[in-house]
Structure 1
Amino acid sequence: MSANRIAKDAEVTWGTVQHQFGDLDGLWVAVITEIHSRSWNSSPDAWPAHAPTLRERVDAVIDSVWNYLDTTEGRALTALRTSLPARRSDIAVEYPRTAAAFAARELDWIQGFDFLMDGLDLDPDTLYRVRCLLPAAIRGLSNEREIGFTSDLDIARATLADAVVALLA
């Protein structure tokens, strides 16, 4: 998305945007920060309490991300991310502060996932691999929700949970 288009859609000049945010990188950081503050302020208990079983914890992780992606904030962050360069390294070069803001949100995911899995006797390497897989897998299912091709997303989510539990157990 071009800076001029953003300014036009906001019914301001690019000079006004620059005055407020400095450049496009500053604007993206402000957007990410606002999205983050809205999502965490509207849901102070963003991660549910520990469930007793591995399956319940995996379901909680999947449900948390699934539900977040269907919020206004989740959709806005997804739209922003898809409007930026595809490679993380390219974002870091073109928009270094935006890359840092995304990295901070990724840290939130890591901490939340680790919190939900805390206390279970699981292989750390496998847990790391699952933590890397789940956001992409859930985003893929969420994308299917948006475009409507998968006939039964509840079955797909349950199957993802089955696979993760089998891998971790």
Structure 2
Amino acid sequence: MTEVAEPTGVPARRTNRRGQATRENMLEAALRSLASGDPGSVSANRIAKDIGATWGAVQYQFGDADGFWAAVLHRTAQRRAETFATVDESAPLRARVAGIVDTLYHGLAEPDSRAIENLRAALPRDPAELERLYPHTAAELYSWGQSWLETCRNAFTGLDIDPERVREVATLIPGAMRGLVSERQLGSYADLDVARRGLTNALVAYLQSPD
């Protein structure tokens, strides 16, 4: 028997290899379904049916829908962390900022990102309501934010940059990049390469500014 890593706030469950494979299949099926963009895909019961499982099987693996969505978020967070795992400490600031911007620009169009956007759109917007109805999912989303901040801190390691400015930039970048990705998906007369270059230049200037 092996210990399985669980998302934030979800009690660890001991499972065998077959149970782990079932769990993995359910999570991948959930991501495929959510990535379709169909609002009806945000249903743990429907996803279970799509892969020929019962709701009881989902409950056994994840406890409830809250545990299921938390596990889905945790899966994508692990993959995202791998994307930003390597930092070239010899690279100048501009190259590091451009790397983050470009990685997100391409990554936010990937199936994992589309899946999470669809899931988030179906969850309560108000943090207090989200925490009341989906406490494990809310904890995982909060953990995402903390992990992203740490990713940005690591990305600028070795550079003399105000930590508060790193925090501000880390908070800004995801929303800014979603805007550019939305423009790309909807179609735009704007040159988005120019937009990315402009965003990179603005972030570098702010991080370097002595004031």
TM range (shorter): 0.7 to 0.9
Normalized per residue, the structure richer in helix is 1
Structure 1 runs (4+) deviating above 6 angstroms are: none
| Unmatched 5+ stretches in structure 2 | 1-41
- Aligned residue identity for 2:112: E
| Partner residue, 1:114 | 153
| Partner residue, 1:82 | 121
1:9-20 equivalences under 5 Å are: 9-20=50-61
Instruction: Find the aligned partners of 1:23 and 1:166 in 2 and give their Cα distance.
Output: 47
Instruction: Find the aligned partners of 2:133 and 2:204 in 1 and give their Cα distance.
Output: 39
Q: Out of 12, 24, 30, which is 2:71 matched to?
A: 30
| Partner residue, 1:102 | 141
Instruction: Find the aligned partners of 1:5 and 1:81 in 2 and give their Cα distance.
Output: 17
| Partner residue, 2:182 | 143
Structure showing greater radius of gyration is 2
1:21-60 equivalences under 5 Å are: 21-40=62-81, 43=83, 46-60=85-99
Distance 1:39 1:128, change over 3 A: closer
Q: Is residue 195 of structure 2 the alignment partner of residue 156 of structure 1?
A: yes
Please give the TM-score of this superposition, normalised by the length of structure 1: 0.82
Instruction: Find the aligned partners of 2:81 and 2:164 in 1 and give their Cα distance.
Output: 29
1:87-125 deviations in Å (ceiling 9; x for gaps): 333322211111111222222211110011122222333
Report the RMSD for the aligned CA atoms in angstroms. Answer: 2.4
Aligned length: 167
Please give the TM-score of this superposition, normalised by the length of structure 2: 0.68
